[in-house]
């Protein structure tokens, strides 16, 4: 059965879609209108006044420009603030507008490829819109893309998936990204540990949005903005083994950063384009479906960097039981189990950081533990995270048989 993988970059104003080409082994941008050059689709929809038919993207903009319908733009923003609108005497909620938009996208796929079938669709959103995943999942289900065919990936994850699918000479050392729009300015750097299996890729992000907004608020000249960008880039890249640099985002339009980019090409490869996130999402759709992502551990955002085990004995044999796995969202990481002590007041843990060669052994001493006979002390052991880098173990005395629980609690940061 043929597989169809897609990546959708759903932005505030612009949408981009890509489809995985099995012949080339790469994603290709989908033209979302009848004109080949229109790969950037406005996040807008228009209901034709004459017959109520819906149009999306550039077709919607052209229709509204002729006065034949009313344009509704910024669909993702409307969905976020729950902003309804009245068209032709009927009220449309933002989710219904988004549904019509997705139906038009599906129609474009059928028009381009003779089928709108989807094996997996990976969707990436701006950070501020990530809380809409549940709503968007419901909207996608109405157009035939069920939850099992859908996954959401962050912009950082898209960048990571894109890079690991590039020729290896482009990521021999670190890889970096500058992302700029009207409100935000981000810097990302990826570091790879290729000697480990799976290959570990760590993302570090810095946010320069406030400095960028102050700069734009002063209405600085293009030369001043380019000077600021170049000096910031030199400061961030100095002494760092960054051999490939990607630059993306509508904020770089207008050519103000062109001279800085030319200078940054000295000693490294520099790529500029707007389709990195949609193609990265497309790679994610394929790799998470066919299992090829198992060769990599992508650590970014809220993902933990360490696997944590507790040392136990079962049937006179030593074993380590996993409590948390590296690469898990720290808000969901951790575990809980019950143990019975046998002549000890110590619990031993193994902390294996994905970025370090040797694991670390941590011992937790249960001070002031009530003395009982061996194997008559039952404890509940739970692991959770205060934040991404702070795993906390909590142990409770549960009592045992006729021995009542004491309510004693021990905590320790690993």
In this prediction, residues 376-405 reach a mean pLDDT of 82
Task: Give the helix/strand (H/E) hosting 278.
Answer: helix 276-290
396 near 369, Cβ under 8 Å? Answer: no
Distance of alpha carbon 152 from alpha carbon 144, whole angstroms: 17
- Does the pLDDT value for residue 34 go beyond 60? no
In the predicted model, is pLDDT for residue 32 greater than 70?
A: no
The three-class DSSP label of residue 167 is coil
397: Cβ contacts below 8 Å, ≥ 6 apart: 369, 370, 377, 378, 379, 405, 406, 407, 408, 409
Q: For residue 38, what pLDDT is reported? A: 58
Please give the CATH architecture assigned to the domain spanning 306-413.
Sandwich (2.60)
pLDDT band at 101 (very low <50, low <70, confident <90, very high): very high
Cβ(62)–Cβ(42) below 8 Å:
no
pLDDT in tens, 284-319: 999 999 998 888 888 888 888 889 998 988 777 888
Q: Is 332 helix (H, G, I), strand (E, B) or coil?
A: coil
User: How many whole angstroms separate alpha carbon 187 and alpha carbon 90?
Assistant: 44
Start-end ranges of CATH 2.60.34 in the chain? 306-413
Q: Is the link from the previous residue into 198 a cis peptide, with omega within 30 of 0?
A: yes
Beta carbons of 203 and 134 less than 8 angstroms apart? no
Task: Count the neighbouring beta carbons within 10 Å of the beta carbon of residue 86.
Answer: 9
Q: What pLDDT does residue 29 have?
A: 85
Q: Which pLDDT value is given to residue 194?
A: 76
In the chain, CATH 3.30.420.40 sits at 5-152
Answer whether residue 219 shows pLDDT above 80: no
- For 5-152, CATH number out of 3.50.50.60, 3.40.50.1970, 3.30.420.40, 3.30.980.10 equals 3.30.420.40
pLDDT in tens, 148-194: 999 999 999 999 999 999 998 888 889 999 999 878 899 999 988 87
Nearest to 70 by CA among 92, 48, 95: 48
199 to each of 155, 162, 191, 294, 296, how far by Cα in Å?
20, 15, 11, 9, 5
What's the CA gap between 190 and 174, in Å, rounded?
6
Q: How confident is the model at residue 405 (pLDDT cuts 50, 70, 90)?
A: low
- The CATH number of 156-299, from 1.20.120, 1.10.3470, 3.30.505, 3.30.420, is 3.30.420
**Highest mean pLDDT pick, 306-310, 373-377, 394-398:** 306-310
Q: With 80 as the cut, is the pLDDT of residue 16 above it?
A: yes
Residue 83: burial class (beta carbons within 10 Å; 0-12, 13-18, 19+):
middle
**Tell me: the pLDDT tens digits for 323-351?**
998 888 888 888 899 888 877 888 899 99
Confidence of residue 409 (pLDDT cuts 50, 70, 90): confident
C-beta of residue 303 within 8 angstroms of C-beta of residue 328? yes
Kindly tell me if the per-residue pLDDT of 35 is higher than 60: no
Q: Count H helices and E strands in the chain, helices first.
A: 9, 25
Cα angle 112, 114, 120 (rounded to 5 degrees) comes to: 85
Q: Which range among 104-113, 141-150, 193-202, 399-408 shows the weakest confidence by mean pLDDT? A: 399-408
- Is the predicted pLDDT of residue 403 greater than 70, yes or no? no
Answer left, alpha or beta for residue 327, where phi above 0 means left and psi between -120 and 50 means alpha. Answer: left
Mean pLDDT over each residue of the chain, to the nearest integer: 87
Strand residues in 113-227 grouped as ranges (E): 120-124, 150-152, 174-180, 185-193, 199-207
User: Cα(109)–Cα(121) distance, rounded to whole angstroms?
Assistant: 13
pLDDT exceeds 80 at position 141: yes
- At 36 the pLDDT is 46
Check the CA dihedral 272-275-278-282 and report its sign.
negative
Q: 155 and 167 in contact (C-beta within 8 Å)?
A: no
The 8 Å CB, 24+ separation contacts for 403-407 are 403/372, 403/376, 403/377, 406/370
- d(C-alpha 112, C-alpha 210), whole Å: 42
């Amino acid at each position: 059965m043929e597989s169809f993988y897609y990546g959708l970059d759903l932005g505030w104003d612009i949408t981009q879609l890509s489809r995985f080409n099995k012949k080339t082994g790469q994603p290709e941008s989908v033209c979302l209108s009848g004109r080949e050059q229109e790969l950037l689709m406005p996040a807008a929809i228009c209901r034709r006044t004459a017959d109520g038919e819906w149009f999306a993207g550039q077709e919607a903009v052209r229709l509204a420009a002729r006065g034949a319908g009313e344009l509704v733009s910024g669909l993702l923003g409307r969905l976020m603030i729950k902003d309804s609108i009245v068209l032709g005497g009927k009220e449309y909620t933002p989710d219904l507008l988004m549904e019509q938009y997705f139906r038009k996208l599906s129609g474009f796929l059928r028009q381009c490829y003779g089928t709108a079938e989807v094996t997996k669709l990976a969707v990436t959103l701006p950070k501020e819109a990530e809380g809409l995943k549940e709503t968007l999942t419901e909207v996608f289900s109405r157009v035939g893309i069920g939850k099992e065919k859908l996954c959401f990936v962050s912009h950082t994850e898209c960048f990571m998936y894109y890079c690991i699918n590039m020729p290896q000479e482009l990521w021999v050392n670190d890889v970096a990204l500058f992302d700029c729009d009207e409100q935000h300015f981000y810097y990302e750097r990826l570091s790879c540990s290729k000697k480990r299996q799976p290959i570990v890729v760590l993302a570090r992000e810095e946010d320069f949005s406030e400095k960028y907004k102050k700069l734009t608020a002063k209405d600085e000249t293009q030369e001043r903005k380019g000077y600021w960008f170049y000096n910031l880039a030199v400061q961030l890249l100095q002494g760092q083994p960054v051999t490939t640099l990607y630059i993306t985002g509508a904020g770089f339009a207008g050519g103000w950063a062109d001279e800085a980019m030319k200078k940054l090409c000295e000693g490294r490869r520099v790529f500029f384009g707007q389709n990195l996130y949609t193609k990265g999402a497309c790679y994610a759709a394929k790799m998470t479906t066919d299992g090829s992502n198992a060769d990599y551990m992508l650590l970014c955002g809220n993902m933990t960097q360490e696997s944590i085990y507790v040392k136990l004995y079962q049937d006179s044999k030593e074993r380590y039981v996993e409590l948390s796995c590296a690469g898990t969202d720290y808000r969901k990481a951790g575990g809980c189990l019950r143990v019975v002590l046998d002549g000890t007041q110590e619990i031993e843990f193994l902390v294996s950081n994905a970025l370090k060669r040797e694991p670390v052994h941590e011992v937790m001493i249960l001070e002031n533990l009530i003395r009982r006979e061996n194997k008559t002390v039952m404890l509940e052991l739970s692991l959770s995270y205060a934040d991404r880098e702070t795993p906390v173990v909590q142990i409770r005395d549960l009592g045992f048989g006729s021995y009542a629980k004491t309510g004693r609690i021990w905590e320790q940061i690993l």
